[in-house]
Chain A
């Protein structure tokens, strides 16, 4: 009888231990560092992309030096316009590239919001990120050339963040994050696809301009001497900058491609502590560092 009581007491003690353990696991602080890393990486891709776009605009100006409007010089001799048939048509890439920046802005604001929520920074950062996300979604929606899928994707991210609310306990916060990240996944996929699509278009534009300049330069009759050196310099500049932009666009696509897997991995590891190794997140960080590295080395 005594033995039975002793065993029952031990069982009760074990049950209490298990329950306490489970409660502690639920109360343990949410790992926030990985959310900060994801947000920093997304911001990194957005920043580099803005710089690349500025480089594409500069390259277009270089291209126009080789392809000015026919006839005497005018104020608009070097604006990005080409003659198609007998018609002068604009090919300013700025408005074509801008929606991609807006889409990346949505992604960066979304990851900022996740990080703020994980840190329980409801009043400051989360509020700021939510407003920033709303602004980026609106900016993207205003672009005629942005794909419908990208616009819908941005809306999905905004809805996911709006659903986060102000969770009171760690358990609620984890559940809210899981749901938001699950809901946001199709939106991230759509935005990543759009960004890569525009990067591919940008690469085609750069390749076309570079090849045209080479062709035109080969058609010029310039005698050896200072004039030849100047032409060499101009052509070399065009080729070097084109190749640098092509490398940047390729790395940007690789980096943005790494965001969705890292996001999925973080979502699956919400219950794992900060020390857990997240390979996909490491890959994303490596891609962003590579992107930042190539930009610095090419400048």
Chain B
């Protein structure tokens, strides 16, 4: 069984991180730009892969991505805790990158 929850989540998160990077300045903005770049690349690879949605690691990655999206919330509003958002995104990226790398057979 495969679904596209991870692809949709990664693309959505990349878009939110992009918005957040424009709302912030300095190191935080640069960190968010790097994260957005990683998310975009991950989205492209995830689209090309066939992923088993019943896999526990897949579900974990989807949950982590969703948690990061929830933390950022509506990026149009003033973000109170950017450091927490960056940390959540980093965690989601780590989990998703490990999953995708493994599924790609590398």
Interface residues, chain A, CB within 8 Å of chain B?
82-85, 87, 89-93, 95-96, 144-145, 147-148, 197, 200-201, 204-205, 207-209, 211-212, 215
Known pairs A95-B48, A197-B4; A208 contacts B43 (CB<8 A): yes
Interface size of B in residues (CB-CB distance below 8 Å): 27
Give Cα A148–Cα B41 distance, bound, in whole angstroms.
27
Interface residues, chain B, CB within 8 Å of chain A?
1-2, 4, 7-8, 11, 14-15, 18, 33, 36-38, 40-45, 47-48, 50, 97, 100-101, 104, 106
Q: Judging by beta carbons under 8 Å apart, are A96 and B47 in contact?
A: yes
- From A67, which residue of chain B is reached at the shortest CB distance? B41
- From B21, which residue of chain A is reached at the shortest CB distance? A215
Give Cα A85–Cα B37 distance, bound, in whole angstroms.
11
Give Cα A148–Cα B11 distance, bound, in whole angstroms.
25
Interface of B is mostly: helix
Q: Judging by beta carbons under 8 Å apart, are A84 and B47 in contact?
A: no
Q: Judging by beta carbons under 8 Å apart, are A144 and B101 in contact?
A: no
CB distance from A56 to the nearest CB of B (A): 11
Q: Can you list 21 A-B contacts with CB-CB less than 8 angstroms, sorted by A residue number?
A: A82-B44, A82-B45, A84-B38, A84-B41, A84-B97, A85-B97, A85-B101, A87-B104, A87-B106, A89-B101, A89-B106, A90-B48, A93-B47, A96-B48, A148-B1, A197-B4, A201-B47, A204-B43, A205-B47, A208-B40, A211-B14
Chain B residues in 8 Å Cβ range of A91 = 41, 44-45, 47-48
Contact of A212 among B40, B104, B106 (CB under 8 A): B40
Known contacts A89-B101, A96-B48; 19 further A-B pairs (Cβ under 8 A): A82-B44, A84-B100, A84-B101, A89-B45, A89-B106, A91-B45, A91-B47, A93-B48, A147-B2, A200-B4, A204-B7, A204-B11, A204-B43, A204-B47, A208-B43, A208-B44, A211-B14, A212-B40, A215-B18
Q: Judging by beta carbons under 8 Å apart, are B48 and A92 in contact?
A: yes
Chain A residues in 8 Å Cβ range of B100 = 84, 89
CB distance from B70 to the nearest CB of A (A): 20
Q: Judging by beta carbons under 8 Å apart, are A204 and B8 in contact?
A: yes
Chain B residues in 8 Å Cβ range of A197 = 4
CB distance from A96 to the nearest CB of B (A): 5
- From B36, which residue of chain A is reached at the shortest CB distance? A215
Give Cα A85–Cα B45 distance, bound, in whole angstroms.
12
Q: Judging by beta carbons under 8 Å apart, are A207 and B104 in contact?
A: no
Chain B residues in 8 Å Cβ range of A208 = 11, 14, 40, 43-44
- From A81, which residue of chain B is reached at the shortest CB distance? B45
Give Cα A145–Cα B46 distance, bound, in whole angstroms.
12
Chain A residues in 8 Å Cβ range of B41 = 82-84, 91
Contact of A201 among B1, B7, B18 (CB under 8 A): B7
Q: Which 8 A-B pairs have the closest CB atoms?
A: A82-B41, A91-B44, A145-B50, A91-B48, A89-B45, A91-B45, A212-B40, A205-B47
Give Cα A205–Cα B45 distance, bound, in whole angstroms.
9
Contact of B104 among A89, A144, A215 (CB under 8 A): A89
CB distance from B37 to the nearest CB of A (A): 7
Chain A residues in 8 Å Cβ range of B38 = 84
- From A204, which residue of chain B is reached at the shortest CB distance? B11
Give Cα A92–Cα B50 distance, bound, in whole angstroms.
12
Chain B residues in 8 Å Cβ range of A207 = 11
Give Cα A92–Cα B45 distance, bound, in whole angstroms.
8
- From B101, which residue of chain A is reached at the shortest CB distance? A87
Give Cα A168–Cα B45 distance, bound, in whole angstroms.
54
Give Cα A148–Cα B14 distance, bound, in whole angstroms.
30
Contact of B44 among A87, A144, A209, A215 (CB under 8 A): A209
Give Cα A93–Cα B1 distance, bound, in whole angstroms.
20
Give Cα A95–Cα B104 distance, bound, in whole angstroms.
14
Chain A residues in 8 Å Cβ range of B97 = 84-85
Chain A residues in 8 Å Cβ range of B36 = 215
